Amino acid sequence: MRLAEALRVAFDALRANRLRSILTMLGVIIGVAAVVILVAIGSGAKAEVEKQVQGLGSNLILVVPGSLEIGSTPTASRLELSDVEVLGRAVGNPNAVATTVQSSESVRVGDRSVFTTINGTNETVVNVFDRPIARGRYISASDVDTRRRVAVLGSTAARKLFGDVDPIGRQVTIAGVRFRVIGLFTDVGSTFGVDRNAEIHVPVTSAQRLFGVERIDALAVKAPTIESIPDIQRRILAALAEKYPGDKFSAVTQTQILGTIGQILGLLTLVLSAIAAISLLVGGVGVSNIMLVSVRERTKEIGLRKALGARQKDILLQFLIEAVLLTSIGGLIGIALGVGASVLAAAVSPLPAQISWWSPLLAFGVSAGVGIFFGVAPARRAGRLDPVVALRTE
Amino acid sequence: MTRSYDLEGGLVVDALRGASLRIDRGEYVAIVGPSGSGKSTLMHLLGCLDRPTSGQLLIADRDVSTLDDTELAQLRNETIGFVFQSFQLLPRITATANVAMPLVYRGTNRSERNDRARAALEAVGLGHRLDHRPTQLSGGEQQRVAIARALVSEPTLVLADEPTGNLDTASGTEVMHILEQLNAEHSVAVVLVTHDNDVASRARRRIRLRDGVIESDDGAHLSAVNTS
């Protein structure tokens, strides 16, 4: 029997039991759509993180207390402001060391107010991180030394607080304390729905007084070249070990952070995909079940076809094609739904879904494969039916 | 030939206990006998739907027992046409598609299949029913579609199992006419199994089975003479 003819017969059979075919497909549809969506979200999240970490600037080493490995517990920071100088000496360039202490505070201008991240930083931030200033100026060394109450605003913070008014030179009230706006950042992207343009930077010394803390959260060191990174990491850790004997610190590059985050996201995607794959498997079992019912229902037809000259192979192929058609159509619908849902999620929610070219192809391949795998047993049963017995069936 | 079935519990049923017969091209044979006499078993053996337990079956000089399933399917497809008591038409497809089905398994292309199916339907007087589905046809018409399906592959042997069993007298007579005409005009051997004495009496040769053996065969010596 020709393939085209077998396809037509299979189509007719599926059409004849339309509702049953659709319900059977549903299992495959849901499984495939789930795989496509979860892979899209997983790879989207990974791409987003990579973009963000890369956006931090090149040859950057972040210094944080504790260990950055998966499964380690966060450690309370013992870093303090004087460590900026310690590291400056250790790496031989005080201008390459930046610091930050963060807290979320409410910020008010007149009757407008926002709740956002306040970053206490020093003057080296514009050098160490790629954070260009659009207008005005950044925090200076003397701002830090004299605990001046000045602030640099991201574009979202500026728009929410000042609307169309030019904020430079005006006052903002951060946690009840008044600061003067001295500069505006150039726009940057957002991470997982957290808008970095909503950030406000103030001198680290003013921030510490404002938050009532002595600590700093993290240090960042810019290495002059990629080759110098391992050496600088060693020097940083040595300097900190000397000052804080027995404490653990991490000095990591973007590549290492990316690796760690990639590992976490990869694992997460794998687990979610495995769950989705189970639903695909259940869908496949449903297909197998329905094919067995179909073979039983059409025993007489099989007997007749055999009497008229159908070979075992012809009957097997006919039912296998029917099963594969069922899962392939389900797979295509599932892909369409999955891609649609991913695009929608990326557009209206903070989930950074990203469709990769291979995931729909893989999903289609897998669903067709499910059809073959779960269709073979019923199809073989059909092919082996004894025509005499089959014809006698009522 | 003999044919026995192993039933559950080690029971062996001898459905056919030794039947020898020869059917020549163009013969018209009725197989009669009470229920359980082995008629259907003999039919299935002749139709290559089943193999004898012992003995030999030669169809067109080929020993059926030496053929595998695929060769057997091909032999059925090319040499044998079936007509069943309950018509055995697929309800979802048209008369033409039903008739064309044997050609599908021969690999004939679609337009030729349709042409030959139409011609076969016209030959049984159903040229006006080409695109009807079996459910839209009367019993007599359905059996004529089934005969057209048996004809379309130009077989040398047509096996009809109680072809009039589900039909009223008028339709039954019509179907018998067509089978006789087919036998006469195309020199196709027609073997029919029947309970109906009227139907059996129209055949030129009657084989009577009882308890798995041939009780009488009024054409046996004739065909032996013819072929010797």
Distance CA A25, CA A323 (A): 10
What is residue A394's predicted lDDT score, i.e. its pLDDT? 64
Handedness of CA A35, A36, A37, A42 (dihedral sign): positive
Check which CATH number belongs to the domain holding B52 and give it.
3.40.50.300
The pLDDT of residue A95 is above 60? yes
Q: What confidence category does residue A311 fall into, taking pLDDT thresholds of 50, 70 and 90?
A: very high
Number of domains observed in the structure of chain B: 1
Q: Yes or no: say if B26 and B205 are a contact pair by the CB < 8 Å rule.
A: no
| Parallel, antiparallel or unpaired: strands A200-203 and A112-121 | parallel
pLDDT digits (tens, 9 = 90+) for B178-208: 999 989 988 899 999 988 888 888 888 999 9
Residue B143 within any structural domain of the chain = yes
Residue to substitute from B51, B80, B88, interface A, most A β-carbons within 10 A:
B88
- Chain B contact for A304, CB < 8 A? yes
- Chain B contact for A105, CB < 8 A? no
Q: What confidence category does residue A12 fall into, taking pLDDT thresholds of 50, 70 and 90?
A: confident
On chain A, the residues whose CB falls within 8 A of the CB of B50 are: 386, 388
pLDDT digits (tens, 9 = 90+) for A170-219: 999 999 999 999 999 988 766 555 677 888 999 999 999 999 998 888 88
- Spell out a b/e string for B126-139, using b for 16 or more CB atoms within 10 Å of the CB, else e: beebbebbbeebeb
Q: Yes or no: say if A370 and A280 are a contact pair by the CB < 8 Å rule.
A: yes
| Nearest residue in B to A1, CA atom | B105
Residue B29 within any structural domain of the chain = yes
What is residue A72's predicted lDDT score, i.e. its pLDDT? 60
Using beta carbons and an 8 Å cutoff, which residues of B are at the interface with A? 44, 47, 49-50, 69-70, 73-74, 76-78, 82, 84, 88, 90, 92-93, 101-102, 104-107, 110, 149, 153
On chain B, the residues whose CB falls within 8 A of the CB of A304 are: 88, 90
Question: Is this prediction's pTM over 0.90?
Answer: no
Q: What is the mean pLDDT of chain A?
A: 87
- Write the CA distances from A216 to A120, A227, A331, integer angstroms: 9, 28, 53
On chain B, the residues whose CB falls within 8 A of the CB of A311 are: 69-70, 73-74, 105
Task: Give the three-class secondary structure for B43.
Answer: helix
Q: What confidence category does residue B157 fall into, taking pLDDT thresholds of 50, 70 and 90?
A: very high
The pLDDT of residue A141 is above 70? yes
% of chain A with per-residue pLDDT over 70: 94
Distance CA A177, CA A108 (A): 10
Rg for chain B, CA atoms, rounded: 18
Q: What is the mean pLDDT of chain B?
A: 89
Residue to substitute from B43, B49, B87, interface A, most A β-carbons within 10 A:
B49
What is residue A182's predicted lDDT score, i.e. its pLDDT? 94
Residue B22 within any structural domain of the chain = yes
Residue keyed to tokens 């996201």: A265
CB half-sphere exposure, B212, CA atoms < 13 A = 12
Q: Could you list the residue range(s) of the whole structural domain that residue B34 is in?
A: 2-217
pLDDT digits (tens, 9 = 90+) for A339-392: 999 989 888 877 778 887 888 888 888 888 888 999 999 999 999 999 988 888
Residue to substitute from A308, A385, A392, A394, interface B, most B β-carbons within 10 A:
A308
Residue B194 within any structural domain of the chain = yes
Distance CA B27, CA A117 (A): 100
Residue B131 within any structural domain of the chain = yes
- Mean pLDDT value across residues A327-341: 93
Residue B77 within any structural domain of the chain = yes
A122-126, B29-33, B35-39: range with highest mean pLDDT: B29-33
Residue B227 within any structural domain of the chain = no
The pLDDT of residue A236 is above 50? yes
A191-195, A259-263, A279-283, B163-167: range with highest mean pLDDT: B163-167
The pLDDT of residue B101 is above 90? yes
pLDDT digits (tens, 9 = 90+) for A13-58: 888 889 999 999 998 999 899 888 888 888 888 887 777 776 666 6
Cα–Cα–Cα angle for A261, A60, A130, rounded to 5 degrees: 100
What is residue B146's predicted lDDT score, i.e. its pLDDT? 95
Binding-face residues of A in 348-387 toward B, CB within 8 A: 386-387
% of chain B with per-residue pLDDT over 90: 58
Residue B120 within any structural domain of the chain = yes
Residue keyed to tokens 């005009």: B185
What is residue B8's predicted lDDT score, i.e. its pLDDT? 80
Q: What is the 3-state secondary structure (H, E, C) of chain A?
A: CCHHHHHHHHHHHHHHCHHHHHHHHHHHHHHHHHHHHHHHHHHHHHHHHHHHHHCCCCCEEEEEECCCCCCCCCCCCCCECHHHHHHHHHHCCHHHEEEEEEEEEEEEECCEEEEEEEEEECCCHHHHCCCCEEEECCCCHHHHHCCCCEEEECHHHHHHHHCCCCCCCCEEEECCEEEEEEEEECCCCEECCEEHHHCEEEEHHHHHHHHCCCECCEEEEECCCCCCHHHHHHHHHHHHHHHCCCCCEEEEEHHHHHHHHHHHHHHHHHHHHHHHHHHHHHHHHHHHHHHHHHHHHCHHHHHHHHHCCCCHHHHHHHHHHHHHHHHHHHHHHHHHHHHHHHHHHHHHCCCCCCCCCHHHHHHHHHHHHHHHHHHHHHHHHHHHCCHHHHHHCC
pLDDT digits (tens, 9 = 90+) for B75-87: 999 999 999 999 9
Distance CA A305, CA A298 (A): 10
What is residue A191's predicted lDDT score, i.e. its pLDDT? 55
pLDDT digits (tens, 9 = 90+) for B134-149: 999 999 999 999 999 9
The pLDDT of residue B111 is above 50? yes
Q: Which positions ≥6 away from B199 have C-beta within 8 Å?
A: B30, B164, B172, B176, B192
